[in-house]
Structure 1
Amino acid sequence: MAHAAADDHRVVVYYQTTNVNNSATDHISILGLLNSAPQIAVTHVLIAAVHIVDEPDGWIRLNDFPPDNPRFDAVWSDAAQLQAAGVAVTAMVGGAAQGSFQRLDGDDAQFERYYGHLHDFLAGYNLQGVDLDVEERMSLAGVVRLIDRLRADFGPAFVISLAPVGAALRKGGGNLSGFSYFDLEAQRGSAIDFYNAQFYFGWGSPRPRPTTRTLSTPASRPASTENGSGFVSLDVVANTLRDLTAQYPDFGGVAAWEYFNSVPGGKAAPWEWATWMAENMRGEQSPRRKLRASRSA
């Protein structure tokens, strides 16, 4: 059986589309990610998108549904199998739908009210970390408080990542989060495992001359032309990855939005994206995969 890859170059997959056409029963499995050999290519799977809401019948929503909705039974089963194989499974909180971080950014009483539900969700579903995708205004003090509490409650092995737009990791660049990531890094960089920098929708490129922190950070790109502007052909990505990993041995890796239709395999074999990226970061891409990439570009 293939074994899990080391995370010196991370291969991060966002997994939001869990059911075909949002059906209640037609599950899109992520277990294909376990097929690669001799080692599993993916290092982290981020289940998205989790939101904190004001609804007394359930304060946490996963893609507009309570996480215990039967439509997610196979998601949690798949997640447990990935974890058993050594893949870290975490939850992405926030994203384009706003409100979660506003609720976590109030006074102490408000914070405790909403954080408690997030804590119980993360613990109840045995999630190994959280990806904070802050695409709304949040104070620096608020995000520091949240990170401190997560680290205190879940311990040093719990993965804490954030998902700033790429420009936010450059001085004077654009930002969707409200706080400065440079200030956050200065105050709590030691508590943050990595950033999944978003290099699409016009928010920058991982080249040229990435910052030191960007090098330790997976560079996030659309995994298909259907997933947003900024898609780059796999041939171009392959050359960029080879250049970056050769010049910077501590290059963090690559993240994809999102799993279900990732090229080169597309909807029929979306797990091939992870293998493709891992091979190119090791400089091992096969002729068969090169041919497929040319057809998919």
Structure 2
Amino acid sequence: MASASASPLPRLVLYHQTTHDPDGNLISILPLITQPGIKITHIIVAAIHINEDPDGLTLNDHPPSDPRFTTLWAELRIAQASGITVLGMLGGAAKGSYTRLDGDKSSFERYYTPLAALIRSQGLQGLDLDVEEPTSLGGIVRLVDRLRGDFGPDFVLTLAPVATALLDPRRNLSGFDYKALETMRGSQIAWYNAQFYCGWGDAHTPLLYEMCVACGWPPEKLVMGLVTTPDNGAGWVPFEVLGATLRMLRERFPRFGGVMGWEYFNGRPGGKDRPWEWAQTMTGLLGSGQAPAVESERDKPPSPVEIDPDSEQGEEVQVPRHFEYHTDDDDDDDNDNDD
């Protein structure tokens, strides 16, 4: 597939879900283009939800055509013109999108058609399938086949499994076996944005990534997913530690797939004031494997840090029951889109 083989390595992928601040002001992605020392390869705008009404598609808590998104879509087109590939993310923690696509043929068509229309209208170059609800293998294969058939060989298809799902189908949020999917449709899937955080993985060392490769996952298709700040979930890895991990992975795997960050708006070290600094720092780490020479106090995780509360006593990591993402409209009690 052209889009997968042509993808630059290592990738630097960044999710963009919290698109506005609490006052409704847009959180601009343009500094990812204008600030020096940043080599973002992919931006994934999140999260697209398929709701009960087939025509009621939402981006987080609002229709994608809502005027609040006009400047967002314009900035994403600027990113594309600057050489960054822009994908949409379908699903996430809010349930229902994949259940609705997993029905019979007529039901699939009703819910798929508005999704395809959104992809076309906004010129999205790919779709990230973040399946966090029970879904059949046949259902996800049908969706992959339809997207490939409708949007051609250069349309980028990725998935976002928790890292443990790549080793054990029982430790999984998606319901289907990712190994089976890779066997059946691996040629159509560009890579996997594997979540190495929130109890589903650990990026403090290269061990889990190496285990995935040892189990047959090609390193060029395995992107290590990170939280960009402790505020976004457990599993934050300080830059000096992460630098050592990435250096070892790049030395061992020349075709290392790269890293992704959840999410843009508050990434360290700059936080909400300068969120692009996470991408700046990661560009340096991926290029040299060296951590910043000096890390200020604001860059360090708060003390004490509960990186993996389920494994402090050496016990088996327990499956988190729920993970709360940030959304644009967390106080909207009438909307169930908890992304």
Residues 250 and 36 (structure 1), Cα distance of their counterparts in 2 relative to 1, 3 Å cut: farther
Q: What do you get for the CA RMSD once the two structures are aligned?
A: 1.8
Residues 285 and 32 (structure 1), Cα distance of their counterparts in 2 relative to 1, 3 Å cut: farther
Answer yes or no: is 1:133 the counterpart of 2:133. Answer: no
* Residue type of the alignment partner of 2:219: L
Q: Stretches of 4+ moved more than 4 A in 1?
A: none
In structure 2, the residue matched to 1:50 is 48
Secondary structure at 1:261's aligned position in 2?
A: coil
Answer yes or no: is 1:292 the counterpart of 2:295. Answer: yes
* Runs of 5+ unmatched residues, structure 2: 1-6, 301-339
Task: Give the C-alpha shift of residue 54 in structure 1.
Answer: 1.9
Asked if the contact 1:235/1:293 (under 8 Å) is kept, the reply is no
In structure 2, the residue matched to 1:230 is 235
Asked if the contact 1:9/1:251 (under 8 Å) is kept, the reply is yes
Distance 2:8 2:211 in 1: 20
Asked if the contact 2:229/2:266 (under 8 Å) is kept, the reply is yes
Task: Give the C-alpha shift of residue 173 in structure 1.
Answer: 5.3
Matches within 5 A, 1:126-275: 126-171=123-168, 174-206=171-203, 207-208=206-207, 209-212=210-213, 213=217, 215-216=219-220, 217-275=222-280
Offset from partner CA, 1:275-296 (integer Å, 9 cap, x none): 211221221658xx43236650
Task: Give the C-alpha shift of residue 46 in structure 1.
Answer: 0.4
Secondary structure at 1:241's aligned position in 2?
A: helix
Matches within 5 A, 1:34-113: 34-37=33-36, 40-55=38-53, 58-113=55-110
Distance 1:115 1:277 in 2: 36
Count residues with an aligned counterpart: 287
**TM-score for both structures, normalised by structure 2:** 0.81
* Runs of 5+ unmatched residues, structure 1: 1-5
**Pairing partner for 1:280 from 285, 297, 301:** 285
Secondary structure at 1:167's aligned position in 2?
A: helix
* Residue type of the alignment partner of 1:278: T
Asked if the contact 1:235/1:294 (under 8 Å) is kept, the reply is no
Range 140-149 or range 225-234, more displaced: 225-234
Residues 76 and 172 (structure 1), Cα distance of their counterparts in 2 relative to 1, 3 Å cut: closer
Asked if the contact 1:276/1:285 (under 8 Å) is kept, the reply is no
* Residue type of the alignment partner of 1:190: S
Asked if the contact 1:12/1:45 (under 8 Å) is kept, the reply is yes
Distance 1:185 1:283 in 2: 31
Larger relative helix fraction: 1
Secondary structure at 2:13's aligned position in 1?
A: strand
Distance 2:191 2:69 in 1: 27
In structure 2, the residue matched to 1:29 is 28
Distance 1:203 1:114 in 2: 30
Asked if the contact 2:243/2:289 (under 8 Å) is kept, the reply is no
In structure 2, the residue matched to 1:15 is 16
Task: Give the C-alpha shift of residue 11 in structure 1.
Answer: 0.5
Asked if the contact 2:196/2:225 (under 8 Å) is kept, the reply is yes
Asked if the contact 1:12/1:255 (under 8 Å) is kept, the reply is yes
Asked if the contact 2:247/2:290 (under 8 Å) is kept, the reply is no
Distance 1:176 1:20 in 2: 29
Secondary structure at 1:273's aligned position in 2?
A: helix
Secondary structure at 2:62's aligned position in 1?
A: coil
Residues 28 and 214 (structure 1), Cα distance of their counterparts in 2 relative to 1, 3 Å cut: farther
Asked if the contact 2:166/2:178 (under 8 Å) is kept, the reply is yes
